[in-house]
Structure 1
Amino acid sequence: MSAAAESSIDNVVIEEEKEDKTQSVRRSTRARKTKAKGTTAKRKRKKKEPEPNPDEASSTMDALRAQMREEVRNSLRETLMPIVRAELREELKDEVVECLRVQLRDELQTSMKADMQDEIRDTVREEMRTELHNDIQHEREEMERRMKQDLHEGVVLELRRELVSEETVATATHKFDRNLLAAPAPRRTFSRNGKRR
């Protein structure tokens, strides 16, 4: 910096210091004068501004807060509505898909159960029919076997009765000789001319 610039800066600083001193002197002289005057001096009083009522201030603040809250809420609603709608759509889509899946599963389960009941009913009916046919066939064979056995036993009993009755009749009518119990007579043969030998 040049010497002229430095001297000009110094002059400005000196002048500012002088002004500060004069203002402080003026203040001090005013203070002395007021002290010297004492109580006889009348001071000019400023009119007091009415103090605000704290209830009114709080109600105003509450109203402003409510208004700001409503404005913020509206702005957030406008900005967040599409996002929330998209998220809700995704959630509802998943829920609807799950509900439809459960409903379709229940319907399929009901229809498949009905079909399976029909198939099982037909199968059981066929098995019962086959089993009943086999039982009837077995009973028929068993009845035929019993009837044959009973018939055979009846025939045997009848033959035994006949034999017993014939034997009783034969023993009652025949008188046995001692000759019958002897050795049998020699067999008689016939010659060519028909005479016995």
Structure 2
Amino acid sequence: ESKEGISRVGKIVKDLKDFSRVDSNQEWQWANLQQGIESTLNIVANELKYKADVIKEYVDLPDIECLPSQINQVIMNLVVNAAQAMGPQRGKITLRSGMEAEHVWLEVADTGSGMASDTVQKIFDPFFTTKPVGQGTGLGLSLSYGIVKKHGGDITVSSELGVGTTFRVTLPIRQQHSNT
């Protein structure tokens, strides 16, 4: 059983490495962040419909230079986590966007259960999860963090127990490419 378990863990790690490089051969391209948000919301609509109302507070944003499917993956992780943070009461997920200097930002705020500060400090760690055993891998936020950093951006979180959580993703409009 131990050998079988080790073999399964090895396969999972290999699959995760493959998954995390889904865009490795994709070109950086200019994309509309709000279109990405909307298509992602359509994909996860079933996850949201019984748990939360989605409120959109967008401003017009310029297109950004990115790997669009990876940014959509980040949005999906944040929105699904927000929906899963809802207790028995129907909640709200608010999506906000904005621009500061050469960066755009997106916030995903929920009225879910919130997190204690010691939990907030660990949420980007690989395999850390607040979900029951078998319910979550603890990889969504870790992968999201890596994607945002790869884009030269930042991801922050503020949370209050019993009130809710807000994630903010900040991305540069234009990438600083090392190859000229």
TM-score by length of 1: 0.17
Could you say which structure has the higher helix fraction? 1
Give the structure-2-normalised TM-score: 0.18
Higher strand share: 2
> Which one scores higher on RCO, CA 8 angstroms, separation ≥ 6?
2
The structure with more radius of gyration:
1
